[in-house]
């Protein structure tokens, strides 16, 4: 796979009043629909742009947010071969769309990932570790 760059992701979206805080977040991902698995990592949210990663994947994308809601999309790509017995995203460049609620402390999201010919749903909790100054 070719590493992702700025031309591969959508432009940053607007963040309005009551939108998600720009900062560094921890992310805890839980699979839905009876699928086993999950992952933890970090996500950097800044003015409509998503950058993040974990032990096996990195993700780049964009979001919009206001009035306690947020939605967006990101691309997930493997940087290190996943060691799972059944890695759902391993070997695929995965497009993910999401929506959810946000507050001053963090956010929740429900997402759908398109991995190869599979559609995979998951939920994630983001906790604000450090807001950006300014």
- How many other C-beta atoms are found inside a 10 Å radius of the C-beta of residue 104? 10
Pairwise CA distance, residues 126 & 89, whole Å:
20
Band of pLDDT at residue 35, cut at 50, 70 and 90: confident
Averaged pLDDT, 41-70: 93
> Of residues 88 and 47, which shows the higher confidence score?
47
Residue 53's alpha-carbon distances to 2, 19, 34, 79, in angstroms, are 17, 22, 24, 9
The β-bridge partners of 102 are 107
- The separation between CA 62 and the C-alpha centre of its own chain, rounded to angstroms, equals 9
Share the mean pLDDT of the chain: 86
Q: What tokens were used for 126?
A: 């983001």
User: Is the predicted pLDDT of residue 88 greater than 70, yes or no?
Assistant: no
Which pLDDT value is given to residue 51? 93
The model's pTM is 0.86
Buried b or exposed e, range 57-94, using 16+ CB within 10 angstroms = bbbbbbbbbeeebbebbbbbbbeeebeeeebbbbebbb
Q: What pLDDT is recorded for position 91?
A: 65
- Percentage of the chain with pLDDT > 90? 55
pLDDT tops 80 at residue 111:
yes
Does 78 score more than 90 pLDDT?
no
Position 129 scores a pLDDT of 97
CATH assignment of 6-131, among 3.40.50.150, 2.60.260.20, 3.40.50.10790, 2.40.128.380: 2.40.128.380
Sign (positive/negative) of CA torsion 83, 99, 5, 54? negative
pLDDT of residue 14: 92
């Amino acid at each position: 796979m070719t590493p992702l760059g700025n031309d591969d992701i959508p432009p940053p979206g607007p963040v309005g009043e009551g939108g998600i805080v720009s900062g560094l977040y921890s992310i805890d991902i839980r699979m839905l629909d009876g699928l086993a698995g999950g992952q933890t990592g970090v996500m950097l949210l800044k003015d409509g742009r998503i950058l993040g990663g974990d032990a096996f994947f990195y993700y780049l994308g964009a979001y919009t947010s206001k009035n306690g809601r947020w939605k967006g999309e990101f691309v997930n790509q493997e940087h290190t071969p996943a060691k799972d017995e059944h890695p759902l995203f391993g070997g695929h460049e995965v497009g993910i769309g999401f929506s959810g609620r946000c507050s001053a402390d963090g956010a929740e999201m429900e997402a759908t990932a398109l991995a190869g010919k599979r559609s995979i749903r998951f939920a994630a909790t983001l906790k604000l570790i450090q807001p950006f100054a300014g």
